């Protein structure tokens, strides 16, 4: 029996280009490093023999020297073997970062427990003092591999490891799962149609566990194949069952069904909230929902907020104040606001019943007619009413 941690897609050095505040970018980048320490604590608590990283240790094939040094220090502090394959972000072909002198020197000095597997050839775990077992690495040697990186396993002679667990380490999209839905796509990464893995083509009965990377959420794709997801969540959930920010603790033995189970390691919270305004009272309900989701925290959450419905002018002003406070407290507020704003009955009377200012009253009455008729100019008329109220009543 062999127990290890399966993780992937650390993407250290991720730029978080959609976060505008440089200090908040730095907090998010630091969180990805901090999660490594929690991952190490899980390994010690669960008695894991080693950590397997299924690609994309770095976000780029040319990380900064600062990111290289910080990564090597974090891995060195884990004090157990860490075995890594390159993914599409940090691919391992000729001239890659993995052969650069700076990385080689830093890893030797700071992370002697790190082994980067750059060749598609069996790796006997006993050669680094681990229990009997063989790792079958399928590194990506370029960003977009046109050939299945696991293809070499189809002709492999497994007889040297008769009684030993056989573990595949691969990075890519599974046939029938990936493409436009790939977990490696987000605001900063377009989808790719390569790096496809055909699990059905692997020799039946010869492989005990397939540790996959590329999909950033937790997902089982066969009885023996799993995506672990990221160790630190890095995008808004795409579905109610999407899980990220964890590591898989895997127990495996030869010819037995593997036993993986997830343990949380993430610290940053990503929320997705939809809210419709049917009346101004719904603004109070939105504030309650935000308190439930975020509580008193600052600089620990990101929020995708989708708003719809309609509000009065006064309520819209309150909403803008709320959004400004959220911008300050959150690491990122991604807003999709389809809320329409128009005077309520009281605000409208303040405009249309101005005995001392009949011109403003007539203009307001005509604008309201356009709004009620629902003509093409209706939205412009609604905006004009809002500005008229601001100029004549609130100022």
Q: Which residue has the tokens 């370029």?
A: 142
- DSSP-H helix ranges across the chain: 22-46, 65-76, 101-110, 281-294, 313-329, 345-352, 358-373, 378-389
Of residues 173 and 390, which shows the higher confidence score?
173
Q: What is the pLDDT of residues 253-308, one digit of tens each?
A: 999 999 999 999 999 999 999 999 999 999 999 999 999 999 999 999 999 999 99
Nearest CA among 81, 71, 62 for reference residue 30: 71
Report the percent of the chain where pLDDT is more than 70: 93
- The region of weakest confidence among 81-90, 124-133, 307-316, 344-353 is 344-353
Mean pLDDT calculated for residue range 132-144: 95
Q: What residues are paired with 305 via a beta bridge?
A: 273, 335
The pLDDT of residue 180 is 39
Report the percent of the chain where pLDDT is more than 90: 75
pLDDT value at 356 more than 80 = no
Of residues 96 and 383, which shows the higher confidence score?
96
Average pLDDT of every residue of the chain: 90
Query: Confidence band (pLDDT; 50, 70, 90) for 376?
Result: low
Mean pLDDT calculated for residue range 377-392: 76
- The region of weakest confidence among 203-212, 234-243, 315-324, 348-357 is 348-357
The pLDDT of residue 181 is 43
Distance of alpha carbon 283 from alpha carbon 278, whole angstroms: 9
Query: Confidence band (pLDDT; 50, 70, 90) for 379?
Result: confident
The pLDDT of residue 179 is 41
How does DSSP assign 19-84, residue by residue?
---HHHHHHHHHHHHHHHHHHHHHHHHHT-S-EEE-S-SBSSSS--HHHHHHHHHHHHTT-S-EEE
Which stretch of DSSP H or E encloses residue 376?
A: none
The pLDDT of residue 294 is 95
- The region of weakest confidence among 49-63, 190-204, 237-251 is 190-204
Distance of alpha carbon 205 from alpha carbon 209, whole angstroms: 10
Report whether 113 contacts 130 (CB < 8 A): no
Sign of CA dihedral 58, 59, 63, 68: negative
Distance of alpha carbon 360 from alpha carbon 351, whole angstroms: 7
The pLDDT of residue 193 is 59
């Amino acid at each position: 029996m062999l127990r290890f941690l399966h993780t992937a897609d650390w993407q250290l050095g991720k730029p978080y280009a959609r976060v505008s505040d440089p200090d908040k970018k730095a907090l998010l980048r630091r969180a990805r490093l901090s999660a490594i320490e929690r991952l190490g604590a899980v390994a010690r608590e669960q008695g894991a023999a080693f950590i397997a990283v299924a690609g994309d240790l770095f976000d780029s094939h040319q990380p900064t020297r600062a990111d290289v040094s910080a990564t090597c220090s974090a891995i060195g502090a884990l004090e157990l073997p860490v075995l890594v394959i390159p993914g599409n972000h940090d691919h391992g072909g000729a001239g890659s970062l993995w052969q650069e002198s700076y990385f080689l020197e830093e890893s030797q000095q700071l992370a002697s427990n790190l082994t980067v597997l750059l060749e598609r050839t069996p790796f006997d775990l006993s050669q680094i003092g681990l229990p009997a077992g063989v790792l079958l690495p399928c590194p990506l040697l370029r960003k977009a591999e046109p050939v299945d990186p696991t293809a070499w396993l189809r002709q492999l002679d497994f007889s040297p490891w008769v009684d030993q667990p056989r573990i595949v380490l691969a990075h890519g999209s599974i046939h029938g799962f990936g493409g436009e839905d790939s977990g490696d796509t987000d605001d900063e990464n377009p989808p790719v149609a390569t790096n496809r893995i055909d699990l059905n083509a692997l020799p039946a009965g010869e492989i005990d566990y397939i540790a996959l990377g590329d999909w950033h959420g937790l997902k089982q794709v066969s009885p023996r194949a799993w995506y672990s997801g990221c160790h630190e969540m890095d995008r808004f959930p795409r579905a109610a069952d999407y899980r990220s920010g964890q590591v898989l603790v895997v127990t495996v033995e030869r010819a037995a069904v593997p036993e993986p189970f997830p343990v949380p390691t993430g610290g940053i919270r990503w929320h997705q909230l939809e809210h419709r305004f049917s009346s101004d009272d719904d603004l109070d309900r939105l504030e309650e929902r935000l308190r439930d989701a975020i509580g008193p925290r600052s600089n620990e959450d990101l929020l995708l907020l989708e708003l719809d419905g309609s509000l009065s002018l006064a309520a819209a002003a309150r909403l803008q104040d709320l959004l400004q406070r959220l911008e300050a407290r959150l690491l990122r507020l991604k807003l999709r606001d389809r809320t329409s704003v128009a005077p309520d009955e009281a605000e409208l009377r303040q405009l249309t019943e101005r005995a001392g200012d009949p011109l403003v009253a007539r203009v307001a009455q005509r604008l309201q007619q356009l709004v009620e008729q629902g003509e093409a100019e209706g939205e412009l008329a609604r905006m004009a009413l809002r500005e008229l109220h601001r100029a004549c009543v609130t100022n």
